[in-house]
Amino acid sequence: MIKPHGGKLIKRILFPEEKEEILKDACKLKHLTLDEEKIRDVKNIGRGVYSPLKGFLNEKDFKEVLYSMRLSNGLLWPIPIVLDISKEEYDKIKGTNIVLLKDTYGKPVAILENPEIFSYNKRDFSQHVFSTTDEKHPGVEDVYKMKELLIGGKIKLLDDEADVFPEYNFSPHETRKIFQDRGWNTVVAFQTRNVPHRGHEFLQKQALKEADGLFIQPVVGKKKQGDFKDEYIIISYEILIRRHYPIDRVLLGILPLKMRYAGPREAVFHAIIRKNFGCTHFIVGRDHAGVGNYYGPFDAQRIFDNFKKEEIGINILKYQEVVYDSRRKIHIFKDDCPPEDRVFFSGTRLREYIKSKKMPPSYIIREEVYNFLAQSLNAFVEDKISGRKKAKEGFVLWFTGLSQAGKTTVANRVYQILKERGLKLERLDGDIVRKSLSAELGFSKEDRDENIKRVAHVAKLLSDRGTGVICSFISPYRKTRDGIRKQVTHFIEVFCNCPLEVCERRDTKGLYEKARRGEIQNFTGISDPYEPPENPEIELRTDLETIEESTNKVIKYLEEKGFI
């Protein structure tokens, strides 16, 4: 297997007994409070993502990286990984050999040993890393907002929890084992910060021709207004991989990392990181890690020409831009398509299609991915003054019951009331899901079970990010619903209890009648059982209650339990 950068995969995690000893005296230690992005850097150091770094850069390494893109030992390293502090924080911690690093909730995350504190020039930092001092550049803007001093020193993790999308948040140690277990000797990494369009799909499948496996790794972290939210990018890729890829040759993971928009330098940084994860190839496309017009479209590819192959240690796939050939009706690299036949991909135009719920041409995005995004209510990052707010905690309201029991009607009314209160919500309903998450599934017991499991997975991802998710599905099997309860942190089962004969009278489509005549197979309540919940959080007697009475029950429960 490919060696990590520097030859050794770093693991800076305290043993349980060491952790216990530190935490016992935590109140005596001087501490610094780090924001979410800095905590991610701390964990990336400790988990080996930034190998060979063992901590934040000291002054000597910082200057070497800034001016020569190397550490003081000569090893290639393009981006300064630094921790900034104020003069007030310096006065608070000076003279100590161990500094406790806490998150904004006060939770101890790591210790920093033998700190070295030094000053730096922000303009110099910006010019060398970003090739500009223009404050309109988002990376430069962030540097100018940094505090006056930098603190270097080795770190050790107290908290190694993969708390951001844990089911996708693999460490390099874990991915290397996964690749090995799957028999992948060559692995190509694809980085993204967007939902997949057909151009991305073409690139990824081209790359699979050169490797045993494909590691798709979206960057999750701070996003700009109008960007797709991390959870929607992940779900979109899940849909795409399930339907259109050889599933045994693809792994979907995440990279919890702040985009610095450092163009060429950051491309080298991302390549080194993927080598640490165990990848042998890395795709660098047009304008990798770029922003605005600060870098040429292929500067991020050209920078690799400045280094010997062994210095990089990972094969760089320098792919051209992908276009759609309007005459031959195929996706193809730009140079292989006559200029008059080229149709270019536009992220801006794709966003406009999704926001306006207008179906784009099939060569732009897969229909099932579009259906999911277009029907979603919170797919885009909003501005800070939009007035939208998270629930106090994310939750999943799971409406279950027979067809025509009133699930969708009450769920829609609950959604409307919570939306008027300004909560961040998502609505998952059977018809929508069947067009996106489960477009290829039928209605056998196995397929219905699989459909519900997919919905539950999506609901968990969204609720874990502070979204209130409202689901309405027959979901007839108790075992399946109990499985969702174990998976979702705040699962609220809402049983729409309505006698079968009432449901049949409400059925204007005549589905029950067709089922009784044998024209519809596996129909819940007729030819397939419905297993009522034994202890639902909420039971609605939708045959006896008005829509408003049932709705108020649900709202009251959410209020009493502190969810809203």
What residues are labeled active site? Answer: 475
**222 contact partners, CB below 8 Å, separation of at least 6:** 37, 258, 259
By DSSP bridging, strand 538-541 and strand 425-429 are unpaired
How many angstroms separate the Cα of 556 from the Cα of each of 391, 549, 550, 564?
15, 11, 10, 9
Whether the Cβ atoms of residue 469 and residue 563 lie closer than 8 Å to each other: no
How many angstroms separate the Cα of 111 from the Cα of each of 22, 53, 81, 160, 343?
9, 15, 16, 12, 52
Residue 39, Cβ density class (10 Å: 0-12 exposed, 13-18 middle, ≥19 buried): buried
Whether the Cβ atoms of residue 209 and residue 188 lie closer than 8 Å to each other: no
Whether the Cβ atoms of residue 82 and residue 56 lie closer than 8 Å to each other: yes
Please give the DSSP secondary-structure letter assigned to residue 336: G
**Distance (Å, rounded) from C-alpha 373 to C-alpha 351?**
10
**Distance (Å, rounded) from C-alpha 364 to C-alpha 350?**
8
Element (H, E) at 99: strand 98-102
Q: Go through 92-117 and write b for each residue having 16 or more CB atoms within 10 A of its CB, e for each that does not.
A: ebeeeebbbbbbeeeebbbbbeebeb
Q: How far is C-alpha 452 from the geometric centre of its chain's CA atoms? A: 21
**64 contact partners, CB below 8 Å, separation of at least 6:** 70, 71, 72
**559 contact partners, CB below 8 Å, separation of at least 6:** none
Whether the Cβ atoms of residue 281 and residue 208 lie closer than 8 Å to each other: no
Here the tokens at position 185 are 């000797």
